Amino acid sequence: MKKLIVILIIAMPFMMWQCTEVKEWKDAKDNIAPGPVSNLQVENLNGGAKITYILPDDDDLLGVKAVYSLNDDVLRSAYASALNDSIVLDGYGNTEEHIVTLFTLDKSGNESVPVSVAINPLKPPVELIRQSLEVQKSFGGIYLKWNNAMKKEIAITLYAADSTGYMQYYDTYYSNAEAGATSFRGFESVSHDFRIEIRDRWNNYASPLDTAIIPMKEQNIFGRDENNQVIWSFYGMADGTAAYRGDQTRINSGNNMSTLTDGTLYGSYCQIVNFSDNYIPTSQVPQELFCPYYLTFDMDKKASYSRFKLWQGNRSPIGSAIFPIVFSLWGTNDPKPVDVSAGVVANLVYWTGWPKIGSTDRFVTVGGTDEWMNDWEKLGEYRLVYPSGWNKYVAGIVTAADEEFIREGFEFEIDMDKTDKPFRYLRFKVEDTTNSQGQIMVSEIRFWGNFVE
C-alpha cells in the first residue's frame, strides 16, 4: 500500500502537466505608447547632422526612428537603438533648413508622439571634394586628383565635347579613397573641351568643372629600334658590375631581353635570377635574402613615362610562374659608378637593403642601407592582387577570372608628378614575389610615355 502511494505522488505532476494546455511563450504586448525624446541638440555636419537627445524611462524601449527627406521629397527613415543617445543623418545636397521628426519605438510596436527639430547641414562632401579637385594634362588624356577626407563613395564622370560642342559621356570612375586620383586616356594631342561631374550615392551633384586641355602625346617606349634590334639591356650584366649592385647575374632558360621585347605578350618567359654562384648558390640563400630583389634597365635613351605593363610567363599550371607582387620603380640619368676596387660587399651596402644575419659569409653580412634610393627618383609603388584575392601561388588556387587576368597582363601607372621627367635608367625593387623567391618569370614588358628628342 505504501509503495502505491509513493508511485502516485511521483506520477501526479506528470499527469497534471499532460492535462494542462501548454501556451506558446512570447513577450507581453501592450498598447501604451512610449514617452518621446527630449532635450534635443543638433550638431550640423557636412551633408547631414547629428541629433542628440534624452531617451524616456520606458522599460520596453526599443529605439528611435527619424523621419526625414532629402532633396527629392521622398520620406526616409533612419533608426538608432535604445543603447544610443543620438542619431546621424546624411545625404543632404544643400545647406538649407530641413525638418526631422523623431519617434521612440517600444517592443510592442508602439510609437511615441512626434518631436520635430530643424537641421541646417553644412556644405555637402561632394562640394568639398569639388573644391579640392585638380585637373592637368597627362599622356593621352587628363589626370585628376582630389581630397575626400570623409571617404565618401563618389563617382567622377568625364564628358568630352564632340564636333558640334555637345558634351558626350566618356567614362566614370568610382572611389572612396581619402586621397583620390585617376586618369582618363584615349585622346589625341589636340585641344579638347572636357566637363567633369562629381556625384555621391544620393545623386547629389557638385558644380561641374569645365576645362580645355591639350593632352600630352603618348607613344610606346619600345625596346627595339626601327630595324627590330633590341636596344634595352640589363644594366651592368655585360661588364659584370650588376653583381656589385645586387642585380640579377643570371638569365635562366636561354631567354634574355629579346624575349621581353619580342611582342609575344603571354608566352615564353625570361627567368631572371637574383642569386647565382657569383654570390652563393641559390639553394644556400637564407630566406631573409630572397627579397628585396633588384633589376636595373638601361633604356638606351631618355624618355618620360606614363605607365607600364608586365605579362607573367606562360608556365603550366597557369599562374605558377614566379612574379613580383610588391615592388617599386625608380629612375635616374646618373647612376653612381661602382667601385670595383672596394669589392662586392662594400658596393652592396649602398645598392641593397640586404641585412646582416650573423653569418660570416661575405654575401649575407652585407648590412645594406639602400642608400641608392636617395639618389634616384621613385616613380611609383605597386601591389598586385589577383581577382580571387590571392597573391601567393598555391596549386589549385587559380580561378577562371585569375587566368583571364594573367593573360591580359598587369598595367601600372607612373606617379603623375614624375611623368614629365625623363630618365634613361629604370630600377625595380621587388619586395615580394608569388612564392617569396629571388627570381621572376616575365614574358613581356612594355612602357608608354614619350621620348626626349
Tell me the pairing of strands 154-161 and 192-200: antiparallel
Average of per-residue pLDDT across 4-10? 46
Question: Grid coordinates in use for 274?
Answer: 637574383
Higher pLDDT, 5 or 234: 234
**Angle at the Cα of 420 (from 417 to 422), degrees rounded to 5?**
120
Q: Is the pLDDT of residue 307 over 70?
A: yes
pLDDT at 290: 60
Whole-number Å distance between alpha carbons of 72 and 388:
39
Which of 47-56, 175-184, 259-268, 380-389 comes out lowest in average pLDDT?
A: 259-268
Percentage of residues in the chain having pLDDT higher than 70: 85
Mean pLDDT of 240-265: 76
Q: How far apart are CA 452 and CA 188, in angstroms?
A: 19
Percent share of the chain, pLDDT over 90: 59
How sure is the predictor about 378, in pLDDT bands with cuts at 50, 70 and 90? very high
Q: Report the mean per-residue pLDDT for the chain.
A: 86
What is the fold, at CATH topology level, of the domain defined by 125-217? Immunoglobulin-like (2.60.40)
Most confident of 36-45, 253-262, 393-402, 413-422: 36-45
CA dist., res. 256 & res. 78, Å (int): 63
The CA–CA distances, whole Å, from 305 to 5, 56, 144, 214, 221 equal 101, 65, 17, 18, 8
Average pLDDT on 117-130 reads: 97
pLDDT score for 316: 82
- Give me the pLDDT at residue 9, please: 47
Q: Is 117 helix (H, G, I), strand (E, B) or coil?
A: strand
Which is more confidently placed, 209 or 9?
209
Q: What is the mean pLDDT of residues 283-288?
A: 51
At residue 25, does pLDDT exceed 50? no
pLDDT value at 8 more than 50:
no
Cell of 50: 547629428
Compute the chain's Rg from CA coordinates: 33
Query: Region 280-289: what's the mean pLDDT?
Result: 50
Q: How is the chain split into domains, by residue range? A: 38-119, 125-217, 220-451
pLDDT digits (tens, 9 = 90+) for 321-374: 888 889 999 999 999 999 999 988 889 899 988 877 555 454 456 788 999 999
Residue 63 in this model has a pLDDT that exceeds 60: yes
pLDDT confidence of residue 97: 96
CA distance 57 to 390: 52
The per-residue pLDDT for 394 is 79
Q: What is the CATH number assigned to the segment(s) 38-119?
A: 2.60.40.10
DSSP per-residue letters across 34-85 = PPPPEEEEEEEEBTEEEEEEE----TTEEEEEEEEE-TT--EEEEEEETT-S
What number of other Cβ atoms are within 10 A of residue 86's Cβ? Answer: 12
Rounded to two decimals, what is the model's pTM? 0.69
Fold designation for 220-451:
Jelly Rolls (2.60.120)
Average pLDDT value for residue range 180-187: 92
Same topology for domains 38-119 and 125-217, yes or no? yes
Closest CA to 269 of 228, 315, 221, 317: 315
